[in-house]
């Protein structure tokens, strides 16, 4: 069982490493991918400022960015659906609100990063949580 988990960790790590997820403080390479609707290119600071305004904020910006993040994470869920560690649910045990709260916190600490970087870091964080859960089982 541990050998299978170890093999799975190596395989998933290789998949994640090959996707070139930008590290915190490292914006995605220009032209590396197309962020449909440009919501992934919104700066974290602008998003976080609007979220601080609550219902008086730009709701269209908030909804489009949150939807973009949800789609980004869903794509990873689909990609890793066969993984014994992730099993198609990176955020297992967390609510949508908890995941988006993590992204908002990241954005507050990294206002000059694009939402794409925040989503990438959220995926890494969620993968670490999933790996911890797998080790505990």
Q: Mind listing the pLDDT tens digit for each residue in 12-23?
A: 444 444 444 444
Query: What CA–CA distance (Å, rounded) separates 117 from 41?
Result: 9
- With 0-12 / 13-18 / 19 or more C-beta atoms within 10 angstroms meaning exposed / middle / buried, residue 46 is middle
Give the residue-averaged pLDDT of 4-28.
Answer: 42
Whether pLDDT at 123 is above 70: yes
Give the residue-averaged pLDDT of 101-128.
Answer: 92
Give the residue-averaged pLDDT of 54-73.
Answer: 88
Q: Give pLDDT, residue 32.
A: 55
- Retrieve residue 6's tokens: 């170890």
Is pTM beyond 0.85 here?
A: no
81: left (phi over 0), alpha (psi -120 to 50) or beta: alpha
Tell me the pLDDT of the chain averaged across its residues: 76
Q: Give pLDDT, residue 122.
A: 93
Least confident of 20-24, 46-50, 90-94: 20-24
**Structural domain spans, the chain:** 2-26+33-136
More confident residue, 120 or 32: 120
Give the residue-averaged pLDDT of 91-106.
Answer: 91
Beta carbons of 36 and 71 less than 8 angstroms apart: no
Query: What CA–CA distance (Å, rounded) separates 100 from 107?
Result: 10
Q: Which residue has the tokens 């269209």?
A: 60
């Amino acid at each position: 069982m541990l050998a299978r988990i170890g093999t799975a960790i190596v395989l998933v790590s290789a998949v994640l490493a090959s996707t070139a997820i930008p590290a915190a403080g490292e914006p995605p390479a220009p032209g590396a991918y197309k962020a449909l609707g440009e919501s992934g290119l919104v700066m974290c600071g602008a998003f976080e400022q609007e979220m601080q305004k609550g219902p008086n904020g730009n709701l269209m910006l908030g909804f489009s960015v949150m939807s973009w993040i949800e789609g980004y994470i869903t794509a990873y869920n689909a990609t890793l659906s066969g993984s014994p560690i992730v099993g198609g649910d990176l955020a297992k045990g967390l609510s949508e609100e908890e995941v988006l709260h993590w992204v908002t916190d990241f954005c507050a600490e990294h206002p000059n990063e694009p939402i794409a970087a925040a989503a990438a870091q959220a995926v890494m964080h969620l993968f670490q949580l999933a790996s911890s859960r797998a080790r505990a089982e």
